[in-house]
C-alpha cells in the first residue's frame, strides 16, 4: 500500500496481503520474543477454559486484556528495534524512549495479570463447587 507521508510503496489496497502481513508479524513476534509467546500461550489456555466454563463477557474481557498486552509488547519490540537501528551505542535519550515504551508494557502486563488471575480464581472456585 502506498505510504501517503513517505511517498513509498505500491498503489492500491489488498486486504489479503494485509492479513498475511499481520500473520507474518505475529508469527515473527511469537518466535522471536519470548514475552509475546508465553503471554499468548497462557491467554489461549485461559480463553479456552473461559469459553467452556464461563460466560461470554468473561471471554471478551480476557480477549481484550490479552490484545492489550500483546499489542504493547509488539509495539515495544518495534520501538526498541528502531532505536537500536538508529543508535547502536548507549544514548541517554534513546534509553528514555525505551523506558517509556517499557512502562506501557508494564502497565498492560499488570492489567492482563489482574484480569487473568481473577478469571482463573473464579473458574477454580466454580470447579471446586461442582
Q: What is the pLDDT of residues 84-105, one digit of tens each?
A: 999 989 999 999 999 999 999 9
Give yes or no: residues 23 and 43 share one domain.
no
Give yes or no: residues 91 and 117 share one domain.
yes
Give yes or no: residues 51 and 10 share one domain.
no
Overall average pLDDT of the 15-36 stretch:
83
Residue pair 13/1 in contact (Cβ under 8 Å)? The answer is yes
Report if pTM > 0.85: no
Rounded Cα distance between 37 and 26, Å, is 10
Compare 11 and 3 and report the one with higher pLDDT: 11
Give yes or no: residues 4 and 25 share one domain.
yes
Q: Which residues lie closer than 8 Å to 20 by C-beta, 6 or more apart?
A: none
Give yes or no: residues 64 and 24 share one domain.
no
In the chain, alpha helices (H)? 15-32, 34-53, 56-86, 92-129
Residue pair 32/73 in contact (Cβ under 8 Å)? The answer is no
Amino acid at each position: 500500500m502506498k505510504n501517503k507521508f513517505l511517498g513509498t510503496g505500491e498503489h492500491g489496497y489488498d486486504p489479503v496481503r494485509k492479513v498475511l502481513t499481520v500473520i507474518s508479524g505475529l508469527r515473527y513476534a511469537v518466535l522471536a520474543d519470548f514475552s509475546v509467546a508465553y503471554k499468548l500461550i497462557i491467554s489461549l489456555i485461559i480463553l479456552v477454559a473461559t469459553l467452556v466454563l464461563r460466560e461470554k463477557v468473561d471471554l471478551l474481557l480476557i480477549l481484550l486484556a490479552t490484545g492489550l498486552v500483546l499489542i504493547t509488547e509488539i509495539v515495544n519490540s518495534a520501538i526498541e528495534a528502531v532505536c537500536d537501528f538508529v543508535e547502536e551505542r548507549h544514548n541517554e535519550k534513546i534509553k528514555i524512549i525505551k523506558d517509556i515504551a517499557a512502562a506501557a508494557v508494564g502497565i498492560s502486563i499488570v492489567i492482563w495479570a489482574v484480569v487473568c488471575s481473577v478469571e482463573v480464581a473464579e473458574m477454580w472456585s466454580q470447579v471446586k463447587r461442582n
